[in-house]
Structure 1
Amino acid sequence: MNKRIIPLIMIIFSISLWLIFYRQLPEQVPMQWGADGSVNWTASKFVALLVNNGMYILLYLLLMFSPKIDPKKNNYKQFSRSYEIMVYAILGLFLIINVVVLFKSLGYPLEINFFIPFLIGLLLMIFGNYMQTIKPNWFIGIRTPWTLDNETVWRKTHRLGGKIFIILGLILMITPFLSDQYVLPVTLISVIVGSLIPTIYSFYLYRKLK
């Protein structure tokens, strides 16, 4: 099966759902929610349809065509299966978010502040599982000046980064079950620490090897 068929089916499914339920949508559709689940921003249903599905299409194009213009594009052949799974995971996440936003707007009792952290956590765990298979490139992975300059640093950093992504994913998946006052601090601290450790580690490895 052509690897573009599944993403295109996802996009068509999302657009079709919005068109099917378009008349039933309220004039103002929620577009952004706070950590407590309250609505921060609304837009007309026509704008919501265009923005949600337009961003979905742009994301698909970015994921499909960025590897073709990457200076290290030949490396993608070495992790093509992993990249394909990551693309499906990202597009699947946005499809579910699109569906949740649509049905939330229709009045269904869906908890946005439960679904989003859980889904992002699941995505990070999938990424973490395949992280160490990624070869040096300019588009996906832990791209620091030191990983991009040295393949050994890239490989070891992504081995550690994969474990960190899985741990970070697990933390995000449990945040919906925490008290509201702890959700934001736990999320921010986890994301900051999870980002800093691979960066510092790549610098340490690079200096050590040099």
Structure 2
Amino acid sequence: MRKYVFSFLFIALSFVISLIALPYMPDQMAMHWNINGEADQFWNKSYAVFFGPLLMIVMLSLFVLLPKVDPKKENYKKFSGSYNIFVNMFIVFFFLLHIVTIGYNLGLDLDISLVVIIAVGLFFIILGNYMPRIKHNYFMGIRTPWTLANEKTWTKTHQLGGKMFVLAGVCMMLISFLPGLYKFIGLLIIIIFTLLISTISSYIYFNRYK
């Protein structure tokens, strides 16, 4: 578990921040925002303020469990460094979302949609750089019937997928400054295009290497 010390520290810090912020939170905390960045769902502060840290604990537990139950568990040893970086990066991502949520409910003037899309774009860029290192498995990466059926297809698809994710991340960061509706449409187009290219390429590679 020492490889996840970084994640544990951020989870512990998120709990400390929640405890400190709790007395200053409104009774009903904003927890969801529409495409225009306007809060449209509110939760009681007694559990809303701890939702982020608890979610991080659940996610980290899943990430620790997955390599133990995956039929391709031996392959995780081949990209353990990249996997650990991904896990820690994922926890940091949710930590940042938690901080932004706390800040918004403290009254800071934050454009939530701008912050979230920039964070997601940065997440895609980092993930794209590590994606070619991900070895054949059933839980992480571009999982289509064709990548799961053929390791060569998996490798070629993730080499292309890595570039696609980096490009998608850059595009997300660029559209984050657009008005709400255009930002939402742009995000959908980027995600759908990335998924389509990744899926179609895996089918093409499968037929080439089968």
2:169 aligned residue? 169
| 2:36 and 2:181 in contact (8 A); partners too | no
Q: Which moved more, 1:128-137 or 1:178-187?
A: 178-187
The amino acid that maps onto 1:67 is P
| 1:190 and 2:190 matched | yes
Q: Distance in 1 between matches of 2:26 and 2:50?
A: 15
| 2:37 and 2:180 in contact (8 A); partners too | no
| 2:4 and 2:88 in contact (8 A); partners too | no
| 1:70 and 2:70 matched | yes
Q: Distance in 2 between matches of 1:73 and 1:50?
A: 33
1:11 aligned residue? 11
1:80 aligned residue? 80
1:116 aligned residue? 116
How much does 1:197 deviate?
0.7
How much does 1:21 deviate?
1.1
Q: Distance in 1 between matches of 2:115 and 2:162?
A: 23
Q: Distance in 2 between matches of 1:198 and 1:88?
A: 25
Q: Which moved more, 1:148-157 or 1:1-10?
A: 1-10
Q: Distance in 1 between matches of 2:120 and 2:67?
A: 23
Deviations, residues 3-58 of structure 1 (Å, cap 9, x unaligned): 12111111010011010110110000011111210112110001202422221110
1:140 aligned residue? 140
1:96 aligned residue? 96
Q: Distance in 2 between matches of 1:192 and 1:26?
A: 37
Gaps of 5+ in 2: none
1:154 aligned residue? 154
Normalised TM-score (structure 1): 0.96
Q: Distance in 1 between matches of 2:86 and 2:51?
A: 23
Q: Distance in 2 between matches of 1:180 and 1:10?
A: 31
Identity within the alignment, %: 38
Deviations, residues 111-168 of structure 1 (Å, cap 9, x unaligned): 2111100001000000100110100011110011110110100000000000000000
What SS does the corresponding residue of 1:8 show, helix, strand or coil?
helix
The amino acid that maps onto 2:203 is F
What SS does the corresponding residue of 1:166 show, helix, strand or coil?
helix
Q: How many equivalent residue pairs?
A: 210
How much does 1:180 deviate?
2.9
- How well do the aligned residues superpose, as a CA RMSD in angstroms? 1.2
